[in-house]
Structures are given as C-alpha cells and as structure tokens.
Amino acid sequence: MAMVTAVAVPVVFVALAPPAGAVAGGPITGCTGTTSGTTFTLTANCDTTAPLTVPTTITTVNGGGFTINATDAGGAQWNGAILTNASSGQTMNIENLTVSGPAAGFQLCTNSTNVLYGIFFDDAGGSVSKVTVQHIFQFQNNAFGSCQTGRAIRADGSAAARTVTITNTTVKDYQKSGFEARGTMTMDVSASTAGPPHPMEGLIAQNAVSIVGATGTVANNTIIGSGDQQAGVGGATDGTGVLLFGAHDVTVTHNTITGTKTNLGVAVASGSAVNVISFNHIERTIPDNLDPTGIGVAVDVLNAKLLPVALVLT
C-alpha cells in the first residue's frame, strides 16, 4: 500500500474587495471605511482631535463595531460635538458604534461658552441604535463648579419639528446629561441605559434624561440618576433621573430609575404640561445617605401639570 505523506500548503490571504457599489475611503475626516449609496461603514477605529461632521450625502453611519476616539490633549479646549450633522434638516442615523472621550476626561474647562457633546443632532432628525457614548466629561480640579456641558447625546430642534429615535443605546460617564432633547422636536428613547454619570457630587447637578421644551417618550429604560446635595463649590442642588423642564406631551413609562443618592427620580417643572408618568420602578441603591430631597416624582404644582401617575416606589 502506498504511504500518504502530509504536505504543508502555504496559506494565501486575499484582501476582500468592498461590496459591489461601495467606494473605499472616508467622507468623515480621518475615518476610514467604505461608502455604499448613502451609508458609510467604518472599517477601523477613528481618532480625532476636532469635531467630526457627517456630510449631507450620508444618511447612515455604521460603526461596524469600531470606536471614534476624541481628545483635546495638547490642543485647545474642546468645543463642539465629537460627531454631528453638516446641515439643518439632515437625516443622520448612527448605528453599531462607540463614541468615546478620553477615560481621564477632556482638559479642564476654562471657557464656559465652549460645548462638549458626544453625538449632536443640530436641528436634524434620525436615529441612534446599538451605540455607546462614554467619557464625555472634563477634568476637575474642584476649585470651581463644573461648566454646564458634557452631554452624551443631545438633539436640538428649532426651525421645524424633528424626531430622533434612540434604541439599544448606552450613555455613561458624562458630565451634565445622558440623553437630552431641546426645542421643537421629539425624542423617543427606549430599551436603553442612561448612566451612571461621571462622579461629580458637589460640583454639578446631573440629569440622566432631560426633555427641555420638547416632547417624546422615555420607555423601558434603565436610568441611573445622581445626587448633588454634598457640600461643594457646585453642590447643594438636585440631580435627577428624568428632568421634564417646560416639556409637553412626554410619556415616561416602565423605566427602572435607580442610582446611589439620586435626589429626584422624575422632576416635572417650569411650565411642563400634559405629561404622563406611569408604571416606573423608582429606587435608590445602597450605600445611601439621607438628603433634603430624595423624592420619587417631584412636580412643581404651580407651574406644571401631568396626567394621573402610577408608581412603584421601593
């Protein structure tokens, strides 16, 4: 019988071509990937020291599981969003992506007019799905209260009504707020996690979800609030899980609202009207400290009106 001898066969790696119709490159400055129609898909992590803009020719940014890393180390204080749209009225869908600031924080805020956002819908509509936004905060020296910025995902609508839909998304380690909507727009947040924020008790009042003058739905989320009653240069104020400020027709339902020393689970204030808060589980986790507030749902009865409330308090 003939003897069969194993023979080593060289392995040949073949570079895969982009899908048919796709063009290799990157319409977002410094980010590499492929473009197919109006979708840009990252093929590697992207590092930036300046805000990035999604052009009007792109409606969907697919992160492909990669990360956009931003820092202002060695340069001027950051001013803008890590990722934003190019023009008003644009549709911007962000999916399968991590947007991250530096784990040690952006540089100390010395110019309070500068802004720091993770993802910003600037009078634009669209969606966020399967995204993580993290480390959106500035280094602290505890000599003065934190600047009122550091929003993980913010959406503003002013010229016309816009809708931003957020699902299966996590925002954490932010300075001021996790999900924030302002102006004449709708933000719907579901099946997502807001928090925990960057620890800043005594420095700034933080809000996991903020609806300011806008409308929308906050449903089936895990929301981790914060406290700010600790003495400090920016302390003795209230942090919230959900803040409705001048908001209207907002439904907050079936959320778990939790967190150590969260001052207010849901705060309804400043002319907010016709809002529904129902079937939420609101608690504070240990270790816990008594504070002057510690309220599950706080309503400014002189300036706000909501529909009947159903709560589970523990």
In a domain, 86, yes or no: yes
**Residues 250, 282: contact at Cβ < 8 Å?**
no
In a domain, 161, yes or no: yes
Write down the pLDDT at residue 233. Answer: 79
| Higher per-residue confidence, 144 vs 169 | 169
CA–CA distance, 284 with 293 (Å, rounded to integer): 12
Q: Is the predicted pLDDT of residue 89 greater than 80, yes or no?
A: yes
Q: Which range marks the domain in which residue 153 is found?
A: 60-313
Which tokens hold the place of 8?
Answer: 């080593």
Secondary structure (DSSP) of 93-142 = EEEEEEEE--TT-BPPP--TT--EEEEEEES-EEEEEEEEEEEE-B---S
In a domain, 44, yes or no: no
Query: How far is residue 81 from each of residues 40, 86, 121, 207, measured CA to CA in Å?
Result: 19, 12, 9, 19
In a domain, 93, yes or no: yes
In a domain, 254, yes or no: yes
In a domain, 242, yes or no: yes
Read off the pLDDT of residues 188-234 as tens digits, 9 standing for 90 and up: 999 999 999 999 988 898 999 999 999 999 999 999 998 878 877 77
Q: What Rg do the C-alpha atoms of the chain give, in angstroms?
A: 22
Give the model's confidence band at 239: pLDDT under 50 very low, under 70 low, under 90 confident, else very high: confident
| Cis status, amide bond into 287, omega within 30 of 0 | yes
Domain tally for the chain?
1
Give the model's confidence band at 42: pLDDT under 50 very low, under 70 low, under 90 confident, else very high: very high
Write down the pLDDT at residue 308. Answer: 46
Read off the pLDDT of residues 108-163 as tens digits, 9 standing for 90 and up: 999 999 999 999 999 999 999 999 999 999 998 877 778 999 999 999 998 778 99
Tell me the whole-structure pTM to 2 decimals. Answer: 0.88
In a domain, 52, yes or no: no
Write down the pLDDT at residue 26. Answer: 77
Q: Is the predicted pLDDT of residue 311 greater than 50, yes or no?
A: no
Write down the pLDDT at residue 142. Answer: 79
In a domain, 35, yes or no: no
Which tokens hold the place of 243?
Answer: 């803040």
